[in-house]
Amino acid sequence: MNAYIVTGASRGLGAALVAQLLAQGGQVFAIARDTGSLPAHAQLMTLDADLADSSLLPLLMQRALAVLGTADSITLINNAGTVQPIAQVGAYPAGEAERAIALNLTAPLLLCDAFIAHSQHHHGLRRVLNISSGAAATPYAGWSVYCASKAGVDHFTRTLAVEQAVAANPVRAVSLYPGVIDTAMQSEIRAADVAQFPGKARFDALKADGQLSTPAAAASAIIGYLHSAAFGSAPVMDIRQL
């Protein structure tokens, strides 16, 4: 049995990943603030939690591994994220930058730390898939918090990969750019104030021209890569370049 811990599992890309992993016979531990929209499934366990509350993260991972720890392989998929605040530096709404960094950067780091600490005696395959963004490598005016948090995730993953390269049973870790996907996050981007986000027209056009991936298509490509022999050979990848 392959087991997966998926954050941001309630909708968008995360919900599509959960549906396909279950359909392939996987066991899934799904986390979001409200997982009530996920259809019940014998191999699905859900936990509602705010991942921006960093104090919860070690216990969350211990709970997940207590359930999944005997699986043949265990994969942590850090997918939860927010593009907010869409605001230029000097105009951050109070509290939003800290909250976004806690969700987009601190949560993947601490979940990964707890995953490695508490699964070190697991003899099967262990993987970490961090869902990053092309915004980690390309600066977009108005997205400084998002760009910085995803760049942090990428460099964390590179560092983790260097550490694991000399480990006895190395964790295979990848930070992956999933492409542009038709989810609520893209709706938020198109609803942004153009004064704060001057690049908005490009994202309006991508939607109007039918250039967005569906969550199901993106999830299928990501899972195919996750299960391939190539997964982990490079710590930062763009799904569009595979």
Which residues make up the interface to ligand NAP (CB under 6 A)?
8-14, 32-34, 50-52, 79-82, 103, 131, 133, 178, 180-181, 183-186
CB-wise, 2 or 46, nearer to ligand NAP? 46
| CB 168, min distance to ligand NAP, A | 31
Residue among 4, 92, 140, 146 flagged as catalytic: 146
Please say if 4 is a catalytic residue. no
Helix 12-23 vs helix 215-226: crossing angle, to nearest 10: 60
Report in angstroms the alpha-carbon separations of 59 from 4, 36, 95, 127, 153: 17, 21, 25, 20, 21
Nearer to ligand NAP, 36 or 90 (CB): 36
Q: In the bound complex, which residue of the shown chain has the CB atom lying closest to ligand NAP?
A: 12
Nearer to ligand NAP, 50 or 113 (CB): 50
CB closer to ligand NAP, 178 vs 232: 178
- Pick from 9, 55, 54: nearest CA to 34: 9
Rounded least distance, CB 20 to ligand NAP, Å: 14
Least distance in angstroms from the C-beta of 70 to ligand NAP? 26
In a 3-state reduction of DSSP, which class is residue 127?
strand
Q: Shortest gap between Cβ of 152 and ligand NAP (angstroms)?
A: 13
- Cα dist from 163 to 130, 140, 168, 193, whole Å: 16, 31, 11, 42
Opening angle at CA 126, ends 223 and 151, nearest 5 = 70
SS3 track for 169-191: CCCEEEEEECCCECCHHHHHHHC
> Residues with catalytic annotation?
146
